[in-house]
Amino acid sequence: MQRISYLVLAAVCLSAQAHIASAVTLHATGSTTVLPVVSTAAAAYHRQHPDVSITVSGGGSGVGIASMIQHTADIGMASREIDAEEAAKLNGKVDVFTIAKDAVAVVVSKAVYVGGVHQLSLRQIADIYRGKIKNWKALGGPDARIFVIDKEASRGTRHVFAEAVLGDAHARAPGASVISGSNNEEQALVAHSDQAIGMLSNAWLNDDVRGIAVGKGNKAIFPDIEHVRDSSYPISRSLHILLSKKGPPEARDFANFLLSPEGQAIVKKSGYLPVR
Amino acid sequence: MLNLWMRTSALISLIVVVLMLGFLLQQSWPYWQHDGLSPLLSGDWYPYEHLFGLAAAIIGSFWAALIALAIAIPTGLAAAVMSTEILSGPWRSLMRSGMELLAGIPSVVYGLLGLWILLPFLQSNLHLLTGHNLLAAGLLLSIMVLPTIMVMTQDALCEVSIHQRDTAASLGMGWSTRLWRVLLPQAWPGIRSGILLALGRALGETMAVMLVVGSMDRIPDPWYNLLAPAQTLTSRIGREIGESAFGSMHFSALMACGLLLALITITISMLAHIRTDKVKT
């Protein structure tokens, strides 16, 4: 009798252990542009694989890439390419999966848009960020000073924007009035002002935060999915997730899920251009 | 046994402080070695150009703390005098628990309130491009350090003995003379500690300040311009520590900010204690 109860006890312990071993928690961190896709996909993936949970946090592309260098997360999210310095530190130990394409919109407050500013050339945008143009009136808009919102140096949106507009991903922006962080923060700043200009992924536009057309030659191109698809919008980029080559197999499976038709549907629903 | 236990805990806290300073010094060493003390005077902070000037953040930190104290000292003193000397039992405890409640609110809540209420208010009333500035940071901090000053002052006032109060009254002193000549001078060591602790907290506060200060690395121009976005040491660390790779010069420079903050706050709290001891003996 006693022997049987020992056996039962052992079986219970083993099954408990097996259960614990099969429950995996993955952590994803980085770009707040990629975040909505990954967190929606994480919930969908968890429904299919109840033993795998994925926690998601923001911080910016720089944080996502740094988390791969420092092994502080299983999945890194980045809305820009890895630069040379980071690539040296990663030393080929990371796989990059491109899951979507996206436009970095030049956004203005609703009042500015309604006031007449519907398009700017790259040159004009650069002059605003360099502090050479300070009033919307000079650009055909309302007589109001320009509230220039720059982003933290680590943000992918900032890299892509500065590279396209100012010619260098790390260029200084002496015309900036304030530094923002996440897409949410940027969106709130633009929405609360009547005279702001900023940079934001096109999936985050709304009635208060309007994307303007960017002039290229004598054509003005609006930041929407169609112009990302035909590569005519000048400030576009790819969205990536990063996985350590030695990372858990579940992370790799999740990356494949993002590239599957179901994952790509989530990409589309989030407002980005699917890659497949 | 109790004695041994107390000594051990004192020793442990001492070791933790020394270890922490040692770690900060070790991590920031490449930075000091590379640039010496010259970055303390430069305002240019461009990590990608390897420029790590600390002046803008240091000045910003002190401005925000000064504004906070300029508001919190008079209001905190007044609130403490009101509640200990004028109000009676239930009102007094209501006021005290109100203050303690104020002290218990997490700083991120203050930050968000600042973001939603204070910034739009400053922006529309002062006709600014944005409400993000040192004034906003100082105003938020003043509410956050108010409980420290008020509670410490209250305790100090309560410690003024009944004997001294009676003597003052029997000399025929009026209420305001008693307040200025007897109560506040007698309670001063405690009040002073409260102010210094509040200063320490104001300098060290991160989250609330980070949300409202604007995070622009610019030295106020002119020096008293508190209505432009600026930077503090804590907000810089909060914004950038995640992206800086461990061991890089950028990381080392952020650790240098941390070391400066730690040294300043430790000095301040030591000052707070030294003064109290001297007067007591």
Contact B214 A59 (CB under 8 A): no
The SS3 assignment for A21 reads: helix
Contact B49 A179 (CB under 8 A): no
Look at residue A19 and tell me whether its pLDDT is greater than 90.
no
Nearest-CA neighbor of B191 among B16, B72, B86?
Answer: B72
Look at residue A11 and tell me whether its pLDDT is greater than 70.
no
Mutate to test the interface with A, among B216, B243, B248 (most CBs of A within 10 A): B243
Percent of chain B with pLDDT over 90: 48
Nearest-CA neighbor of B218 among A198, A153, A148, A178?
Answer: A178
CA distance A23 to chain B (A): 28
Contact B49 A181 (CB under 8 A): no
**Which stretch of DSSP H or E encloses residue A52?**
strand A52-57
Nearest-CA neighbor of B220 among B39, B47, B61?
Answer: B61
Which pTM was predicted?
Answer: 0.81
Structure confidence at residue A272 (pLDDT):
93
Nearest-5° Cα angle at A226, A221 to A228: 75
Contact B129 A145 (CB under 8 A): yes
Structure confidence at residue A2 (pLDDT):
54
pLDDT digits (tens, 9 = 90+) for B134-174: 999 999 999 999 999 999 999 999 888 888 888 888 888 88
The predicted model gives A10-37 an average pLDDT of 73
Dist. CA B25–CA B192, nearest whole Å: 30
Q: Which pair of structure tokens corresponds to residue B198? A: 């509040």
Chain A residue with CA closest to B244: the answer is: A66
Q: What is the mean pLDDT of chain A?
A: 89
Contact A154 B243 (CB under 8 A): yes
Strand partners, A200: A105
Dist. CA B220–CA B106, nearest whole Å: 29
Is B242 touching A (CB cutoff 8 A)? yes
Contact A152 B240 (CB under 8 A): yes
Is B108 touching A (CB cutoff 8 A)? no
Q: What CATH class has B32-272?
A: mainly alpha
- In CATH, what is the architecture of A103-229? 3-Layer(aba) Sandwich (3.40)
pLDDT digits (tens, 9 = 90+) for B77-130: 999 999 888 888 888 888 888 888 988 899 889 998 998 899 989 988 988 888
pLDDT digits (tens, 9 = 90+) for B173-185: 888 888 888 899 9
Q: What is the mean pLDDT of chain B?
A: 89
Structure confidence at residue A129 (pLDDT):
95
Q: Which pair of structure tokens corresponds to residue B48? A: 């990608």
Query: How many Cα atoms are found within 13 Å in the side-chain-facing hemisphere of B57?
Result: 28
Least confidently predicted of A89-93, A127-131, A253-257: A89-93
For the residues of B70-94, what is the DSSP string, one character each?
HHHHHHHHHHHHIIIIIS-HHHHHH
Nearest-CA neighbor of A230 among A216, A246, A248, A212?
Answer: A216
CATH homologous superfamily of A2-100+239-274 equals Periplasmic binding protein-like II (3.40.190.10)
Number of residues in chain B: 281
Confidence of residue A4 (pLDDT cuts 50, 70, 90): low
> Which residue ranges make up each domain of chain A?
2-100+239-274, 103-229
> Which residue ranges make up each domain of chain B?
32-272
Is A88 touching B (CB cutoff 8 A)? no
Look at residue A101 and tell me whether its pLDDT is greater than 90.
yes
Contact B243 A153 (CB under 8 A): yes
CA distance A214 to chain B (A): 24
